Amino acid sequence: MASRLKKGSAIAAAVVACVSTFEGLRRVAYLDPIGIPTVCFGETRGVKMGDSYTVAQCKDMLGDRLVEFETGMRACLKAPDAIPAGAYVATLSFTYNVGTGAFCKSTMARKMNAGDIVGACNEFPKWDKAAGIRLPGLTKRRTAERALCLNGIPS
Categorize the per-residue pLDDT at 2 as very low, low, confident or very high, splitting at 50, 70 and 90.
Answer: confident
Residue 101 belongs to domain with CATH number: 1.10.530.40
32 belongs to a structural domain: yes
Reported as a single tens digit per residue, the pLDDT across 95-151 is 999 999 999 999 999 999 999 999 999 999 999 999 899 999 999 999 999 999 999
Residue 7 confidence (pLDDT) above 80: no
- The reply to whether 70 belongs to the active site is no
Domain that holds residue 144: 10-148
4 belongs to a structural domain: no
Do strands 129-130 and 37-40 pair parallel, antiparallel, or not at all (unpaired)?
unpaired
- The reply to whether 23 belongs to the active site is yes
25 belongs to a structural domain: yes
Catalytic residue among 23, 70, 123, 145: 23
2 belongs to a structural domain: no
Determine if the pTM surpasses 0.85.
Answer: yes
How many distinct structural domains can be found in the chain? Answer: 1
106 belongs to a structural domain: yes
1 belongs to a structural domain: no
44 belongs to a structural domain: yes
5 belongs to a structural domain: no
Reported as a single tens digit per residue, the pLDDT across 67-98 is 999 999 999 999 999 999 999 999 999 999 99
